[in-house]
């Protein structure tokens, strides 16, 4: 990564993993729609402070905000039925699914080596490890 963006990526990675477990615990008290509303309100407050002005809202922004809202609600519903670990593995598999769909839907030429490296990382990440430290 260029410049200081690696610091922000590291912060995101360190904070995103516990967020799955925290969200799973909060879902036992509140529903996914309310949790998504609170999350979106907090993000909007921080963005408004950073921008310090009211942005012009385009129809594209409304569409993207709606898709992000639906995506977050579906992710929270997945935490009801899955363990946080399974949810994380499915989330990290999304780029590979996008590469496959891009090949068939958009006709993109995928780079086979990058796809294989991504697949190997996904396989390593998704292999369960028992408490004794050996592979289950």
The verdict on 27 and 48 lying in the same domain is yes
The verdict on 22 and 78 lying in the same domain is yes
The verdict on 68 and 122 lying in the same domain is no
* pLDDT at residue 128 in the model: 66
The verdict on 79 and 100 lying in the same domain is no
Give dist(CA 119, CA 93) in Å, integer: 9
pLDDT band, very low/low/confident/very high, at 132 (cuts 50, 70, 90):
very low
* pLDDT at residue 84 in the model: 78
Residue 112: pLDDT above 60?
yes
Please spell the DSSP secondary structure of 33-64, one letter per residue: HHHHHHHHHHHHHHHHHHH-SPPPPPHHHHHH
The verdict on 40 and 61 lying in the same domain is yes
Q: CB within 8 A of 125, min separation 6: which ones?
A: 89, 92
* pLDDT at residue 14 in the model: 74
* Residue 109 belongs to a domain: yes
The verdict on 55 and 75 lying in the same domain is yes
**Count of domains for the chain:** 2
Query: pLDDT digits over 24-50, tens only?
Result: 788 888 888 888 888 888 877 877 777
Q: CB within 8 A of 110, min separation 6: which ones?
A: 99, 102, 103
Residue whose structure tokens are 């529903």: 31
Give dist(CA 37, CA 53) in Å, integer: 22
Residue 136: pLDDT above 70?
no
Residue whose structure tokens are 């036992």: 28
Give dist(CA 79, CA 19) in Å, integer: 11
Query: pLDDT digits over 52-107, tens only?
Result: 766 677 888 889 888 888 888 888 888 888 887 777 777 777 777 777 788 788 88
* Residue 2 belongs to a domain: yes
* Residue 88 belongs to a domain: no
Pick 128 or 14 by higher pLDDT. 14
The verdict on 12 and 76 lying in the same domain is yes
Instruction: Find the domain containing 104 and state its range.
Output: 93-136
* Residue 43 belongs to a domain: yes
The verdict on 76 and 106 lying in the same domain is no
Task: Please indicate, yes or no, whether the overall pTM of this predicted structure exceeds 0.85.
Answer: no
* pLDDT at residue 130 in the model: 47
């Amino acid at each position: 990564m260029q410049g200081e963006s690696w610091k922000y990526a590291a912060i995101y990675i360190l904070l995103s993993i516990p967020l799955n477990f925290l969200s799973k615990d909060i879902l036992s008290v509140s529903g996914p729609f309310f949790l998504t509303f609170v999350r979106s309100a907090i993000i909007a407050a921080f963005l408004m402070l950073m921008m310090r002005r009211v942005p012009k809202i385009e129809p594209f922004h409304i569409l993207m905000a709606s898709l992000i809202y639906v995506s977050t609600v579906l992710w929270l519903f997945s935490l009801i039925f899955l363990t946080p670990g399974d949810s994380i593995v499915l989330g990290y598999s999304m780029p590979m699914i996008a590469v496959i769909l891009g090949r068939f839907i958009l006709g993109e030429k995928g780079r086979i080596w990058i796809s294989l490296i991504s697949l190997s990382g996904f396989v390593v990440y998704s292999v369960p490890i028992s408490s004794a430290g050996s592979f289950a």
